[in-house]
Amino acid sequence: MTAFEHRGIVEGYYGKTYTPEDRLAWVRDIGQWGMNRYLYAPKDDPLHREHWRDPYPQETLDEFAALVQCGDEAGVRVGFAISPGLSIHYANDDDVEGLIAKFHGFTELGSRFISLALDDVPTTLQHRDDRATFENLAQAHVALAHRIKAELPNDTLLWLVPTDYIGTQPSDYLEEIGRSLDPKIEVAWTGRTVISPTITGDEIRARAQLLGRRLLIWDNVPVSDGPMRPMLHLGPYVGRDETLAEHASGILLNPMELPRASRLGVRTAADYLNAPHNYNAEQAWGHAAQSLGAGASEAYTLFARAHRFSPLLPNDRDTELEATFDCMRTCHADGQSAAGSLSDLDAMLNARSCAASEIRTALDDRELAQELEPWLESYEAECLRMRIAVDLLTVFEADSSAAGSTGLTNAIDAFFAFSRFEGRLTHVPGPVKASFGPRRVMYAQLQSLDDTEASFGSDPALFIDRCLADTFVRYAETRVSQLLDAKSAD
C-alpha cells in the first residue's frame, strides 16, 4: 500500500480561526508536501456551528472562493464543514433545506468536498418533533446525510463526522450508521481516544468492519486547544501503524491555532501519509525542522526538542539533555566523578539559552518567531533554572572531588553557596507556557462507552510534575542536602 487517498489537514480546533492569508499559505505549502485535502471546520466560527443557519457574508464567500481556486492550483481539494448538531431539528424541512442551501453555497464556489460535522453535540434527540419522527439519533443522522448527498453534485465528496467518533467499542449508534448509511459517504474517527497515542491496525480494522467502510482518520495532532494551551506540540508524527491505509481512506491532521508552528508536525506527517511503509519519523522530523527553521535551523531544532512532549511522546522532554543528566546521576550513584557530565550539561544549556536569541534575530520566518515568543520566554527561564542547578552541583562536585579540599567543608561556605542558589532561583520569572515538559496539563483522553456516556480511558489524561527543569532543581537540592549531611556526620 502506498499513499493514503486523502492526505491533509482540518482546521478543526477550538480557538482563534486562521486568517484568509493563513489558509492560502497552508494550501500552497501542503500541496508542495504532497498533501491534497484542506477542510474548513473551525469550532469557534459561529457561522460554522453556533449560528449555522445564518449565511456567510459575501466577503467571506469571496475569500472561500479564492481558497478553492488556490487549492485547484496547488492540487489540494478544499472542503467546508457545517456543524448543525447543537440546535438542528432533523425532522424540520426548513432546517434541513437551509443546511443544504448553505452547502450549495460552497459547491457553487467550485468546492467538491463537504463535511457534515455532528461531533461534540448532544448524544440523544433533543426535540419533540425529532423524537416523534426518528427512533434514535443515528437514524436522524443517516436521514440527514442522505438528504444532503442527494442534493450535492455527483462528484462531491461527503464526509460524516459522527457523534460517536472516538473509541474502539461498538455501540447501537455505530451499528445503525454502519448498517444504514450509504457506503459512499465516508465516516471520520479519531482513534481510541481524542488524541490517540497510537492507532493500530487491529483498532482500525475493527472500527472499519463495524461501519462497513474504510475510515477517514481525523487525527487530533498537533492541536493544543482547551486545557492544552500551555503546550507547544512540535514533536514528530509517531504511533501510526504502517498498515492503516488498508482500512483508512485518509488522514487529516488537526493543527494548533498557531499556523506557522504547526507546520513542523504537519510536514513531518506528510512523509508518512505519502509513504507509510518507508516512513522514518526522526529523519522526517529532522529534515522538516532544518527546512522550516531556515536562517536559524540548528537553534530551531534545539528549541523544538524541548517541545516534543504530547500524548504521542509523553516521556520526551529533550531526550539528549535528559540522557546527559541521567549520566551525571549514574556517576553520583556509583560514587564516581560527574565533572565531565556537568561540563557537558553546562555546554548544552548554554547552547539552548543562545538558541532562543538566535531564533528571535535570525529565523527567516518572522511570523513563526512571533508565534513562538511566549514559549521562547519560558524556554529561556527553564534553561536558566537548570543552569543554576548545574552551577550548584558543579561547586559541590569540585569540593567533594578535591583531595584535602577545605572549600565547602566549611559549613558557612556551604550555606552561602546554597543560599546563592535559592536566591538566583527566586529571580527567574515563572513560565506561563510549558517548555521541557509540563508541570500540569490535562488531555481529553475520553473513550466511548455507549450511546450516551463517555469516560476517561486507559490512556493517561492528566500529566503532573513532568518538567525537566524541576527535575534538575530538585536533584540539585537533594544531592547537596545529602553531601551536607555526610559532612556533618564526618
pLDDT value, residue 406: 41
* Nearest of 223, 390, 372 to residue 310 by alpha carbon: 223
* Nearest of 2, 73, 81, 6 to residue 37 by alpha carbon: 6
Kind of pairing, strands 454-456 and 446-448? Answer: antiparallel
Classify burial at 200, counting beta carbons within 10 Å of its beta carbon; exposed 0-12, middle 13-18, buried 19 or more.
middle
Residues of the chain with pLDDT under 70: 1, 399-415, 448-454, 487-490
Asked if 359 contacts 299 with a C-beta cutoff of 8 angstroms, the reply is yes
Q: How many residues does the chain have?
A: 490
pTM for the full predicted model:
0.93
pLDDT value, residue 454: 66
3-state secondary structure of 138: helix
Distance CA 61, CA 58 (A): 5
| 464 strand-pairing partners | 440
Cβ-Cβ contacts under 8 Å for 24 (sequence gap 6 or more): 66, 67, 70
pLDDT value, residue 403: 44
pLDDT tens-digit readout, 142-151: 999 999 999 9
Could you give the dihedral angle defined by the CA atoms of residues 209, 210, 215 and 217, in that order, rounded to the nearest 10 degrees?
Answer: -120
pLDDT value, residue 396: 87
For each of the domains in the chain, give its residue range(s) and CATH number, in order of start: 6-292 (3.20.20.80), 319-489 (no CATH)
Q: 475-479 long-range CB contacts below 8 Å, 24 or more apart? A: 475/325, 475/329, 475/389, 475/393, 476/389, 476/390, 476/392, 476/393, 476/421, 479/332, 479/393, 479/396
DSSP secondary structure, 236-257, as one string: ---SB-TTGGGTEEEEEE---S
User: What cell was used for 223?
Assistant: 492541536
Distance CA 51, CA 55 (A): 9
User: What cell was used for 59?
Assistant: 466577503
Classify burial at 374, counting beta carbons within 10 Å of its beta carbon; exposed 0-12, middle 13-18, buried 19 or more.
middle
pLDDT value, residue 399: 64
> Cell 498537533 identifies what position?
222
pLDDT value, residue 91: 97
